[in-house]
Amino acid sequence: MFANYLIGLREGLEASLVVCILIAYLVKTGRKDRLGPVWIGVGSAVAVSMAFGAVLQFGSNQLSFEAQEALGGSLSILAVGLVTWMVFWMKRTARHLKSELHGKLDAALAMGTVALIVTSFLAVGREGLETALFIWTAVQATGDGWNPLVGAILGLVTSAVLGWLFYRGALKINLAKFFTWTGGMLVMVAAGVLAYGVHDLQEAGWIPGLHELAFDISSTIPVDSWYGTLLKGVFNFQPNPTVVQVVIWLMYLAPTLYFFFRKPKATGSAPKPAASVEAKTA
């Protein structure tokens, strides 16, 4: 549940910040009459994301076992790629998110209502589709359809509340630090999802080595114990992984964490203080 709460919180907070910044900008510039198209775009993005999740869940149930494993493994790897790109992108652009969105919104306002709807749809839809895909892969990995879903919903609700507090000017947050530490945790979660996806592809016959185990500590960490359940739910830990799973897990996790937490080289000028986001109405 915690891993999916983190996914829902982080992805939902990104979407909430986007909506908050768009609405606050329109209110401050006296363009409240343009709020309607923004909400239409946001609502459409949410609907499309939910429909995407439903298609993944119910569509995969109609496939054969091998096809399900192949689909689940492929989408798990795709989800890991998207999440990895997202955490690096957000770490790099968190400081400039507000000005970037203002520029896009100005261009959309100049082009008309349809452009405004499309802009808000794309800004929120990307987060929604990533969330739906990653949560679906996490549900498949844990084999528990309820706890991961409840965790994700709680994370999304929390992010919506935080977004409202941002808008009201009642809360500030250092986005650079927040997205750095939650990004690091998500990389660790993604590593487990990647290992799970590799195992799915092995069961589908796409990757060899299904019966070549790296180790087996099932007697020490039973999968049905509370700590085994906790490790599986948070990190997709498996007590008897294959050699290929362990190798892929290490090849992804070690360099990704290194580059993610590596400090940028000094440019000779004093670093600017980390940006905080606060949206207030006029």
How high is the pLDDT of residue 209? 92
d(CA 117, CA 41): 4
- Say what the pTM is: 0.70
Q: What's residue 242's pLDDT?
A: 94
**How far is 20 from 36, CA to CA, in rounded Å?**
14
pLDDT tens digits, 214-253: 999 988 888 777 677 667 766 778 889 999 999 999 999 9
Write the CB contacts of 100 (distance below 8 Å, at least 6 apart in sequence): 93
The pLDDT mean for the chain works out to: 79
Distance CA 143, CA 188 (A): 19
Please check whether residue 9 is in contact with residue 161, taking contact to mean a CB–CB distance below 8 angstroms.
no
